[in-house]
Homo-oligomer: A and B are copies of this chain.
Amino acid sequence: MKKSIRIGLAQINTTVGDLAGNQKKICAYIGKARQSGCDIVVFPELAITGYPPEDLLLKKHFIAANRKAIQAVAGEAKDIVAVVGFVDVDVHGHLYNAAAIIAGKKIQSVYRKNHLPNYGVFDEQRYFTCGRDINIFYYDGLKIGVSICEDIWQGSEYCKRYAKQGARILLNLSASPYHCYKNSERQTVLKACARTSRSVVCYCNLVGGQDELVFDGQSVILDSKGHWITSAEAFQEDLCVTDVLVETSAGRKGQDLKGFSSQRSSSHPKILITRKKVQPLSRIDEIYQALVLGTRDYVVKNGFQNVVIGLSGGIDSALVATIAKDALGPDHVLGVCMPSRYTSEETLRDARAQAHSLGICFQQIPIDELFSAYLKVLQPIFVDHAVNIAEENLQARIRGNLLMALSNKFGHLVLTTGNKSEIAVGYCTLYGDMAGGFAVIKDVPKTVVYQLARRINVQQGKEVILKSIIDRAPTAELKENQKDQDTLPAYDVLDAILQDYVENDKGLAQLKRPGRDAALIKNIVQLVDRMEYKRRQAPLGVKITPKAFGRDRRLPITNQYRER
C-alpha cells in the first residue's frame, strides 16, 4: 500500500547568534509550510543558533537562550511536525548538536547527532558530545528517522541502523558548506544513504554566508532507490514542498506522536505537488553565485550598507566590483582609483570606464604627492640603501590607508581584491592591498578569475568587465614596467602547482611532472610556506575550493619544515 505524505524543506538563511531573528524566521516558515499543507517541515542543522556558532557555545547563557528559543518555536507549531536544529544539553552540562521533533506544540523527542566532524572547516568535537542513539518517530503509522549532516557521510553502518528499524523516510538536517563540485559529492552520499537505509531521504541544507563559509542550499528529496524527487533552489532561501509516496508495510502500527493528530487529510490540497527538475548550475556559475551570496551576507549580517573598493584598472578589482554590484546594487559600491607615477594612462582610463560601465560610484585620489612625502621623510634613513620592496609596499599601503580613511569617515566596508594565487605566494602587501574587511576572491585562483570574467560577459551578452582589462597583462604597477610574470610563472602553471600543493597536500616528489621545472616547484612551495604570516593577518573571504586558506588549512607560522 502506498501512502502520500507532504514534506516541506525549509531551506532558510539563518544568522549566527541571532536567536530571536532565527526563531522568528523558523516560525514564519512553519506557518508557510502549514499553509502549504505540509505534514512535516524540516529545517537546517542548528537553525536556532546559526551555523557554526563556534565559541558562543562556551557561553552558558547562550545555550540557555537557545533552549528558550526552541521552546518558543515548539509553542507555535501546531497541526504540523517540525524538525528543528538546536543545541541540547544534558544534566552533566554536555552539549549536543541536536534536532527537536516538534508536534502538538511540544518537543516530542530529541535526536543527538552521532557523528561530529572535526576536520577541514569543522570543529564540532571542540563543543559537542556524540549522541549514541538513532531516533525514529511515528507519523500516521510511518516510521520516520532523523539524522544530522555528517551522520550520513560516515559510511553505511549508520544508515543501516535505520533500515533495520524499518524507517520509511530519513530526514537529514544539514549545514554543508559549499565548495566547487561539493554538490555532486553530496548527491553521491545521499544516493548511497537512500539505498542503504531503504528510505526516502529528505535533505534540508542551510543557505547563506557565514564568515568564510557559504552554504549553497540545494536541498533535495530522493526516493528509497536514490532517484531524484525534488530539489530546492541554489544560493537562496526556499520552502520546497512535495508529496512523497511511501510504501507502507502491513505490520502493526506504532504509536504516533503524543498529543498530536495529523491534519493531513483535511488540509491537503487535491493536486499532487511536485517541482520540475532544473538544470544544475555550471561550476563557474556556482562559484559566481557563491561569491555574490557570501559577500552580500558578510556585508549585511555585519550591519554595513556600502562597500568601497580600490579600482586599479586590473581584472581582480573589476571582478570584485562586479560581484559587489550584484550583491548590493551599484549605488552601494564605491570604486576608488589611486594612481601613482607608475600607473599607465590606459589603466587609469580603464578603472574609470569600468566603474562607469558597472554604474557604481567613483572617486579618484592621486597618491604621488603622498609617496614623495614618505620618500622624503625616510630619506635620511634610506640613504645609501638600494631601492627594494620597501618603496613598492609604501605605495600599496598609502592606498590601504586612504581606503580605510574613507571607511572610517563614511562607514563603508573595504573589500579587498587579492586572488588565491597571489595570496598563496605572498604577491600582495600586508596593510596595503590586503587591508580591508572582506577579501571577496581570496579563494579564487587567478585562472578562475579570468574564467569568471569571461563567463559574466558571455552570460550577460555584453562587456560587463571590459575586454581591455581582461586582455591586459597583469601588473601591480608598483614600479616601472612591472608585470606579474616578471616575478611569477604564468598563472596556469602557478595555479596547477598551487592546487596540488595547497589543496592536495602533495610533497615535492608528487609535485614533479613532465614539463614542470623542479626549481620552480621548490620556489613556489617555499613561498607558500613563508607567506603564512601574511595570510594570518588577511581578512576573511568566501571559501569556494575544497581547501581554502583560513580555518580549512591551519599551518603554524613558525615552521621550519623544508622538504628536500
Contacts and interface: CB of A to CB of B under 8 A. Distances in A.
Given A61-B507, A370-B370, A397-B401, A302 B557 contact: yes
A374 B370 contact: yes
A505 B369 contact: no
Contact of A393 (B55, B404, B507): B404
Interface of A: 15-19, 21, 52-56, 58-62, 65, 118-119, 123, 125-126, 209-211, 297-298, 301-302, 363, 365-367, 369-370, 373-374, 376-378, 381-382, 385, 388-390, 393-394, 397-398, 400-402, 404-406, 408-410, 430-431, 435, 437, 505, 507-510, 533, 536-540, 553-563
A179 B61 CA distance: 26
Nearest to A336: B381
Given A378-B402, A540-B536, A556 B53 contact: yes
A373 B16 CA distance: 42
Contacts of A405: 374, 378, 390, 393-394
A302 B55 CA distance: 30
Contacts of A18: 560-561
Stoichiometry, as copies per complex, reads: 2
A290 B561 CA distance: 25
3 tightest CB-CB pairs across the interface, nearest first?
A: A17-B561, A61-B507, A18-B560
Contacts of A59: 505, 507
Contacts of A435: 430-431
Contacts of A297: 558
Contacts of A401: 374, 394, 397-398, 401, 431
Contact of A15 (B118, B369, B558): B558
A556 to B, nearest CB: 5
A377 B370 contact: yes
Nearest to A376: B369
B363 A367 contact: no
7 contacts: A16-B561, A17-B559, A21-B560, A123-B126, A125-B125, A210-B556, A431-B435
A558 B16 contact: yes
Contacts of A369: 373, 376-377
A370 B367 CA distance: 12
B15 A560 contact: yes
A385 B539 CA distance: 28
Contacts of A382: 409
B408 A404 contact: no
A411 B390 CA distance: 10
A408 B389 CA distance: 6
Nearest to A386: B409
Name, among A15, A390, A510, A560, the residue most crowded by chain B CB atoms within 10 Å (CB to CB): A560
Contacts of A367: 377
Nearest to A120: B126
A267 B543 CA distance: 60
Contacts of A394: 401, 405
A114 to B, nearest CB: 16
Contacts of A559: 16-17, 56
Contacts of A210: 556, 558
Contacts of A378: 365, 402, 405
A175 to B, nearest CB: 13
Contact of A61 (B376, B558, B563): B563
A532 B363 CA distance: 30
B397 A409 contact: no
B404 A19 contact: no
Contacts of A538: 537
Nearest to A62: B561
A562 B20 CA distance: 10
A539 B535 CA distance: 11
B408 A390 contact: yes
B374 A52 contact: no
Nearest to A429: B404
Contacts of A53: 556
A3 to B, nearest CB: 41
